[in-house]
Amino acid sequence: MLTVDIRSFAYDQKEILHNISFRLKRGDHLAVLGESGCGKSSLLHVVYGLLHLNQGTIAWDNTPLLGPKHNLIPGEDFMKLVAQEFNVMPFTSAFDNVAEYLPRIDLEEDKRRVMELLEVVGLTEQADQLVRTLSGGQKQRVALAKALAKKPELLLLDEPFSHIDSFRKNELRRRLYNFLKQEGIACVTATHDSEEALAFSDQLIILRNGTVEVQGTPLAVFQNVANDYQAGFFGEFTKVPSKMLGLKNADTTFVWPSDWRLSAEPLEIEISVVRSYFKGSHYLVEGRWEGQRLFFHSNIPLEEGAIQHLKFKES
């Protein structure tokens, strides 16, 4: 459905994006993961048509999307962008914000649609409340529901949960992405949240300095981390010579805390405990090994300075 081939995009002679290509089918979700300033927002704005693409092509169903130099009003009828600056009307209710673009021919159907979307974003109790009285996170949820009102075929989301409390975020993400799947709405999400990218996307791109660092399924990207930049998105890690783990892949293997097991036997990996961090279901233990930090999980807190031995889970 969506075909993106960006050879180069620049602001005032400064190249922002280069060599980015992907295809997105109906109902699929692509997550674009990257640090601040890497070009995530610019990518969404180019796809939406807010910015003119210098070199490359963007097409929907094999029809080229020509951007702002050819369209007086940016964007296409079949797509919606939810930017970091919310497009909401502060002096009307949450209900009226979502209903703004509906045809108002069948008022009962419109009401059903609006309440369905407010339920998706968890705002049914705030339906009659003026948007200006809502919190930042609630306004962000109104913007999400508003973008879905006319059932777009493509939804572009720029850090869509950045203002939403953590305890609401998990449920909202499940509701929203399940709803998009049910409705067959394709989605591109720009995010710096690796948990969101891994759990809900069909494809994952890690962007670095405006170009694709790695691309594939979430599982493939996670299992084939190749450098510190990529690994840093997925939590604490330790770089270990592959031969020490009995592996024959690259010279270095990135090891996650869950990859270690405590051992009663003296092994090559001997660490000194620095600190234990309580995580609810387990402790994240920071240790010292050959001059570098090493992280592993433990069911109990370990005493500072204690000597522990670890084995790699595949050994």
Q: Can you list the alpha helix ranges (DSSP code H) found in 184-254?
A: 194-200, 218-223, 228-232
Please tell me the predicted confidence (pLDDT) of residue 48: 94
Tokens of 117: 């979307």
Q: Given this structure, which CATH class describes domain 2-225?
A: alpha beta
- How far apart CA 276 and CA 37 sit, in angstroms, is 33
Tokens of 115: 């309440």
- How far apart CA 258 and CA 40 sit, in angstroms, is 30
Q: What is the pTM of this model?
A: 0.91
**Integer CA distances (angstroms), 245 to 20, 230, 258, in order:** 35, 21, 15
Equal CATH topology for 2-225 and 236-312:
no
Each residue of 281-291: pLDDT tens digit? 999 999 999 88
Is residue 235 within 8 Å of residue 228, measured between CB atoms?
Answer: no
- State which residues of the chain have pLDDT below 70: 72, 314-315
Please tell me the predicted confidence (pLDDT) of residue 314: 66
- How far apart CA 309 and CA 314 sit, in angstroms, is 15
Tokens of 181: 């799947």
- How far apart CA 222 and CA 100 sit, in angstroms, is 41
* 137: three-class secondary structure by DSSP: helix
Please tell me the predicted confidence (pLDDT) of residue 167: 82
Query: Could you name the CATH architecture of 236-312?
Result: Beta Barrel (2.40)
Among 53, 48, 59, residue whose Cα is nearest residue 4 = 59
- How far apart CA 10 and CA 66 sit, in angstroms, is 16
Is residue 99 within 8 Å of residue 114, measured between CB atoms?
Answer: yes
Task: Domain ranges for the chain, please list them.
Answer: 2-225, 236-312
